[in-house]
Amino acid sequence: MTFDESIARDQRIEPADDMPEGYRRTMVRQIAQHAHSEIIGMQPEGDWITRAPTLRRKAILLAKVQDEAGHGLYLYSAAETLGADRGDLTRRLIEGQQKYSSIFNYPTRSFADVGVIGWLVDGAAICNQVPLCRSSYGPYARAMIRICKEESFHQRQGYELLITMMRGTPEQRSMVQDAVDRWWWPSLMMFGPPDAASPNTAQSMAWKIKRHTNDELRQRFVDMSVPQAVSLGVTLPDAELRWNEERGHYDFGQPDWAELKRVITGDGPMNEERIRRRRAADTDGAWVREAAAAHGARLAGVA
């Protein structure tokens, strides 16, 4: 069966199948960006592991950040099925030739940010990634199934943390509101530019890599989050947010698209710090990779 026939019949494309060069390039781009996001995404929450308020919260946070490392490694393996080299992908990230999600370029100012990242950032990730379980590239779609299960656990832990804080002192409640105010708009930006300004969506939809457009998923996320905000008792910082009876959806304001562009191109509040740390981890870990490679070669009888 040809590539086009497989796509038309909704069959999965597997690593050994013929595929257009553009499809391969697009998949490597998306999977690599996704993997980089998971690995860089360990930093904002990782900053709170040593400062978690209780042993229970520390254990939960450690496990969550460890899951994110696992997702990153899983995704690099999926990229390798397309002929990509993981060391090369990391080099491209560090040199600024490949992107990672804009959301991880914002600072985590209080422990409430850990809860809000779980609720909103993992919530947005789930909204975006559940349809990717039906993405046309087999190894990516299968990776998404496990990743989404873990993300939904992450989202619940974030929401549970926020419920606990909202039942606490007035200071704790205002920490939660402050974190929601800072993370709401960047969370909406995670879905990418508006459809009219998204160069990749049309082709990725035709290839069934993406199953919904950026705006469709953003709307789904808003519709899902508003009732959760109400039951939590926080206000979402958008004066235009209201239920539209006719559409059967919430109307909402536009994120600052110029800000998204700035953050994607390296000029967000934490971009330099995120890449500096990623580069340091890569340099500091070089001896481990060398030792593992030498050990592997010895086992294989090469050296």
Distance of CA 77 to the CA centre of its chain: 17
Distance of CA 63 to the CA centre of its chain: 17
Region binding ligand FAQ by CB under 6 A among candidate stretches 54-62, 107-115, 191-199, 235-243: 191-199
Of 198, 262, 281, 282, which lies in the binding site for ligand FAQ, with binding defined by CB under 6 A? Answer: 198
In angstroms, rounded to a whole number, what is the distance separating the alpha carbons of residues 62 and 48? Answer: 9
* Residues 126/108/268/285 CA torsion (nearest 10 deg): -80
Which of positions 282-301 make contact with ligand FAQ (CB under 6 A)? none
249 forms beta bridges with: 244
Backbone angles phi, psi at 13, to 5 degrees: -90, 130
| 152 part of the interface to ligand FAQ, by CB under 6 A | no
> What six digits make up the tokens of 230?
């109400």
| 212 part of the interface to ligand FAQ, by CB under 6 A | no
Number of residues that bind ligand FAQ (CB under 6 A): 29
Region binding ligand FAQ by CB under 6 A among candidate stretches 95-103, 159-167, 232-240, 273-281: 95-103
Residue owning tokens 């069959």: 11
| 121 part of the interface to ligand FAQ, by CB under 6 A | yes
Nearer to ligand FAQ, 174 or 254 (CB): 254
Which of positions 55-74 make contact with ligand FAQ (CB under 6 A)? 68
Nearer to ligand FAQ, 82 or 121 (CB): 121
In angstroms, rounded to a whole number, what is the distance separating the alpha carbons of residues 224 and 124? Answer: 10
Of 101, 135, 155, 225, which lies in the binding site for ligand FAQ, with binding defined by CB under 6 A? Answer: 101
| 46 part of the interface to ligand FAQ, by CB under 6 A | no
Nearest 5°: the CA angle 223, 227, 232 is: 140
| 199 part of the interface to ligand FAQ, by CB under 6 A | yes
Nearer to ligand FAQ, 19 or 31 (CB): 31
> What six digits make up the tokens of 86?
């993981």
| 6 part of the interface to ligand FAQ, by CB under 6 A | no
Please name which of 128, 135, 185 lies closest in space to residue 151, comparing C-alpha atoms.
128
Strands 249-251 and 242-244, by their bridges, are antiparallel
Of 3, 12, 24, 29, which lies in the binding site for ligand FAQ, with binding defined by CB under 6 A? Answer: 29
What DSSP line would sit under 150-183, residue for residue? HHHHHHHHHHHHHHHHHTS-HHHHHHHHHHHHHH
In angstroms, rounded to a whole number, what is the distance separating the alpha carbons of residues 177 and 118? Answer: 15
| 204 part of the interface to ligand FAQ, by CB under 6 A | yes
Q: Supply the minimum distance, in Å, between the C-beta of residue 292 and ligand FAQ.
A: 25
Of 264, 268, 270, 274, which lies in the binding site for ligand FAQ, with binding defined by CB under 6 A? Answer: 264
Q: Supply the minimum distance, in Å, between the C-beta of residue 204 and ligand FAQ.
A: 5
11 secondary structure, DSSP code: P
Nearer to ligand FAQ, 173 or 198 (CB): 198
Interface residues with ligand FAQ (CB under 6 A) are: 29-30, 33-34, 37-38, 41, 68, 99, 101-102, 117, 121-122, 125, 128, 189-193, 198-201, 204, 210, 214, 264
